[in-house]
Amino acid sequence: MASNVQNAVEEGKQVPRIQIYSSSATGVSQFWREKYERDAKKYWDVFYKQHRDKFFKDRHYLDKEWGHYFSGAGRKTILEVGCGAGNTIFPLVATYPDIFVYACDFSPRAVNLVKTHKDFTDSHVSAFVCDLTADDLTDNIPPSSVDIVTMIFVLSAVSPEKMPLVLQNIRKVLKPSGYVLFRDYATGDLAQERLTCKDQKISENFYVRGDGTRAFYFSNEFLTSMFKENGFDVEELGLCCKQVENRSRELVMNRRWVQAVFRISDGNLSTKTEASIQVKEKMLKDAVDNVEVDMSDSFAAEIFGSSASDENETIKLGDLNFDIKRLSKEYQHTCKSTGLMIWESARLMASVLARNPTIVSGKRVLELGCGCSGICSMVAAKHADLVIATDGDTKALDLLTQNVTSNLAPPSLDKLLVRKLEWGNRDHIEAIKEVNNRGFDIIIGTDVTYVSAAISPLFATAKELISSNGGISKGIEPGLILCHIIRRVDEPSMLSTAVKFGFRLVDNWPSGISSGPSENIINSWFPENGPENLPSTALNILYFRME
């Protein structure tokens, strides 16, 4: 492919547009799957930091749906798992003042919202942080002491392979006569269909939302099988379907959820219980028009079409301050336009340029795929003779233009130009050459190497635009600097492609790639003890020159 792209560029032929994000419907990459799992608590904590108790609705339908489980002689002990801001707890306490509720969530912010609620009292509620896939509930609750466990739109947030751990955990604290009251997303729900179209699938029936939180969609078969395998019998089971209308947008949306009751297995499920399951399922379906739809989930905004919003972030680099407008963090993780966020590699490279202005001083600088922030280009514009900040995404370029004009003033503003550049696009390359026909002394790319199909067009474009001899005549040897985190493309493959286009690696950081003698360029950019406040230890820098 490398030779084909190179020949096409050299012969003046149009090269197909290359995007630096994957456009195939392959679902979430392995890198992000692992990140969503590893940082699940953080994503929910950020969610509650942003929305506090204003997003979810109180669940006043619990008394209507399951009132007979909460009533009766004696004080009932309830465990609410995934308590959130308390939207299940406090309606229950208000309706049944004699109950005692244990409330847990793995988001510390959510638990704090419960404890600071106006109706919270130690005599009725005990709230604590707990990751049900890792922490033992018996550290906070006596074994076999809970009458009812409520699981309302919570198990769906857990990776399916870890769901059995949750069930085994709650089984320890549930009385032999106790019940699990369950309501959660069902397969075929509108939200699942929307996420499928957005290519946000992690695994079968498991998806990531725009804010980084996740949701699993249950079939009756999967749900009952999993509970039975972990020592529970099905007491009641229902698939509920209801249409929700958004009149302002003239949309009708089909919502689907599973509602069920489970109890600890006694070894034999009677024929009478099986019959009652069938009757209950029919009753739920017949009465669904009168069932309240629980919109208290983080899909509400997406379902009703709320658009992704922009937000500002202040970046400080020494004595330089930039107020950058970018896509809200809530939507970054699944947005196809990767240039609408600020990547860690851009932060590192911008800090390097701020500390080492000689890298760009008096030179002509080109940034490839700079995205919406352009922080590297704006730092370079302080000292360079000319800077052209480029990207192939129209939305990123719109934000980039706003950020440049709002953060720079003449003469820096006059030296920085924003241009569209799709790698390998002959028209775009020629337009850049019209602005600067002598080539560029320094070309910078941050996090532009994580899709294999983009590597050849990247180096082909850099070869076309790097200075060939104009810089050398002034004692400047042109260089290509790439800063990135290794994702889908390994560095040996990257280096092999670079050689095909006439680039040789002269230095790398951290060192470790066998590429001949290092010129010790990059280490000189950092203090003796290394970079300060490194955003990620996985960051790498490669420095190339032309053969």
pLDDT in tens, 103-127: 999 888 889 999 998 889 999 999 9
How much is the pLDDT for 493?
A: 86
pLDDT of residue 183: 92
Structure tokens at 100: 């005692």
Q: Which phi-psi region, left, alpha or beta, contains residue 321 (left: φ > 0; alpha: ψ -120 to 50)? A: beta
pLDDT at residue number 29: 82
**CA nearest 86: which of 57, 60, 63, 114?**
114
Model confidence at 378, pLDDT cuts 50, 70, 90, reads very high
Flag whether pLDDT at 229 surpasses 60: yes
What is the per-residue pLDDT for 424? Answer: 93
Q: Which domains does the chain have, with CATH numbers?
A: 30-303 (3.40.50.150), 338-546 (3.40.50.150)
Q: Cα(157)–Cα(216) distance, rounded to whole angstroms? A: 6
Does pLDDT of 476 surpass 70? Answer: yes
Which residues, including other chains, have CB under 8 Å from residue 508's CB and lie 6 or more apart? Answer: 515, 518, 522, 540, 541, 542, 543
Estimate to the nearest angstrom the gap between the alpha carbon of 543 and the chain centroid.
30
pLDDT of residue 129: 94
Q: How far, CA to CA in Å, does 51 sit from each of 110, 411, 419? A: 10, 42, 38
Kindly report which listed range (144-158, 209-223, 532-546) carries the lowest average pLDDT score: 532-546
Q: What is the pLDDT of residue 7?
A: 54
Residue pLDDT, tens place only, 2-27: 444 455 545 545 444 444 444 445 67
Cis omega (within 30 of 0) on the bond before 510? yes
Q: Which of 54-58, 166-170, 404-408, 426-430 has the lowest mean pLDDT?
A: 54-58
Tokens of 421: 């550049």
Contact 346, 447 (CB under 8 A): yes
* pLDDT at residue 528, as a whole number: 73
In this prediction, residue 132 carries a pLDDT of 94
* Residue of 150, 424, 496, 512 lying closest to 504 (CA atoms): 496
In 169-319, beta strands by DSSP E: 174-185, 201-203, 206-208, 214-216, 232-246, 251-264, 310-317
**In 510-538, where do the E strands start and end?**
none
pTM, two decimal places: 0.53
Interval 256-283 mean pLDDT: 64
Tokens 């003046």, residue?
A: 12
Give the type of residue at 32: W
What does residue 26 show for φ and ψ, rounded to 5 degrees?
A: -100, 0
